[in-house]
Structure 1
Amino acid sequence: MLGFLRPLTRAVTYTRWLHIFLGSAIAWVVASIYPGLSEPSYIDWVLVGVTPVPLLVAAALVPVIRRAEGLQARMMLFPGHHAPVPGGEAEDSGISVAPSASWRDRVRTAVWLVFRLETGIALVHVTGQLIGMVFALTGANDQASEKDGLLLTPPDTAWVKAPLSLLLVLAELGVLLAAGHLTAVVARRLLGPSPAERLAVMEERTEQLLERNRIARELHDSIGHALTVAVVQAGAARAASDPEFTARALEAVEETGRAALEDLERVLRVLREDEQPVSGRPTLTDADRLLQSARASGAEVDMEVSGPVERLPGPVSREGYRMLQEALTNVLRHSGPVPVRLRIAVDDARLVMNVRNALPRPTGSTGRGGSGLRGIRERATLLGGRATTGPHEGDWQVHVELPLK
């Protein structure tokens, strides 16, 4: 019994009831003009439910009507902050608030408007009969029985009236709850997102995930490179015990740290969706600062560039910079200050980048590497290229090929 009465404490029970009644308002407005509501016949009641249908179908052709119905349904059919459900969480409505974008959407909107109309009319009739019966049983009806409009005649037995009145009140509550639940189910089917809207949402979520992965890779490459340089420089300065070398090491740590902070600030602005202009991402034309950082850490970098690097497409140049940064970080982290041979070649069709360094000891690595090397391969794949990492002819090699178109 308590479980049946619990919905009466929820605001959504009454907002759904009101929403259903409002759906039939146009029927009573039209009926007051034709066929009229003064002693209506059964044919008149049929016309009450049929006459407004063409008007509703015509209204459904207007795209913004679907948006208006979606907003109403979200607010009145489904609980939100104004109508908490057990557990304190808001129910997911599953209702779209986008205007009609296709004829399919317009047809679904028309069916929904007609459903609201007929459900509202039916609920008005059922509610009127049940409440009228209760009034008649309790003596609150001041009209003669032949004019009260009731389809059933109340019994005259006195002891039956009280329990029957209670049953009719409970039946009225059950009808309201059932009608509200049915309307919510139908709303999800008819006002829910169309296949095109679902696809757009999935594409947006995919783009967000890809952007998060890109940001995560950039933070890994930038911050990882800065920390690796700092660790290598600190270790070298402590081992050297040379004030001049220590000063150079601290200067390299400072420069690398400042660049990492700039990258971090830029990424945080993106995450905050700040409207302030964001500084451009580094490209391969800025590779000198990576080489200076690696050389300051003790690595002997031999670099050879052929072709117009400055003419590389933006995405290729930016991702190439991050790949080079991770390759040099990988050298310093796992091999230390060893000789590094860097070759960058650009032609009309592709960018080829090769980073080789001597291995300090034989290794059985398969070249699959950790997240940094995996990030290099993922970046290359996203650009339609390929990257290989691993031992090659006694050296460790990172080889990247990216198409320019």
Structure 2
Amino acid sequence: MTYGDSGVVERITPWALGAAVFLLSMASASGSIGVETTQPAPVPVVVAAASGVAAFFARRSPWPLAATAALAYPWLLMWPAAAAASYYAGTRLRRRHLWLYTGGAVVVIALGGLVSRLSDSYRAMVAGTPANMLLIACALLGLPVVGGLWVRARRQVIEAMRAQVDQLRREQVLRADQARGQERTRIAREMHDVVAHRVSLMVLHAGALEVSAPDERTAEAATLIGAVGRQALGDLREVLGVLRSQGSARVPQPTLSDLDRLLEQSRTLGIVVNRHDEGGVRPIDHSAERTAYRVVQEALTNVHKHAGDAETDVFVRYLPAELEVIVRNRCPVRPDALPGSGWGLVGLRERVELAGGTLAAGPLAEGGFQVLARIPAA
């Protein structure tokens, strides 16, 4: 049963119970499933209606229904209200109140038996003998109370199981978070021990080369290498801080406003880089700008590695629903190209696809290489 179905049942049950108690009470008073009453017709109708109304509110408290049954059974031998009250007493009442109800119900059944015994009619035979009084007590008190107690125990077991499942789910999430935190710490430690150490050595060697450079051009190159290395160390330090703090810190991420600085670094290394902005320049989502920046950064890194001082064009096109970034150089791959990890474009494609875009990279027919990314930026 779905949650919606359960809600419908919860709303219908009181009405169904009230109607059932009323109809069964009328059937009992008419003799169909009980002893026919000798009272005038309006009396059983009023008592049956009162029993139905009390049954409607029995889920809140069984006492009004029990009071109605205490009147209906001894007077009219009308039993449905008593049976329903006993069931709800089992589901709702605590131990002391349940014992109080049971004692009162025994008195009511005994009183009904006594009234029946004193009457000279069919009722005396049905409800006035000790054996029948015992059977009626079991039918109207014992079985409904036991059924109510079983239903309450079952509900408690189900609630306990649900609470246990929720607890296990929370513990599983906590263990997963702890495992992720430990893995992030391990990655941060490895990055610090390997990458940070080697970048630091690069910065130190660049500083030494700057001091002992034989010419001005070499000194400028060493200065730039040292500056880029120190910037890389700063970025790495921020990333390590995020990993160690499990993402609680927020590192400022580059956007398209930082693109000119990135291009200037490549120009300082001797590459002619031309930037072309096309379309209506407008503010777009920061995640799209960050992805576009990383596309240009990785593409320029590949130019440095594989194409030397090839002239490169960077196109940033603001399309109606997308941001298109193209990085294109027209120089074949150098024979002395620096080795790469082979994962740069793979990781870049994954980054673009996570942003909902597409990335295509490959050699041009006339020579050179092109990286093209389309990133949603509505």
Question: How high is the TM-score relative to the length of structure 1?
Answer: 0.43
Tell me which of the two structures has the higher relative contact order, counting C-alpha pairs closer than 8 angstroms and 6 or more residues apart: 1
* TM-score for the superposition, normalised by structure 2: 0.46
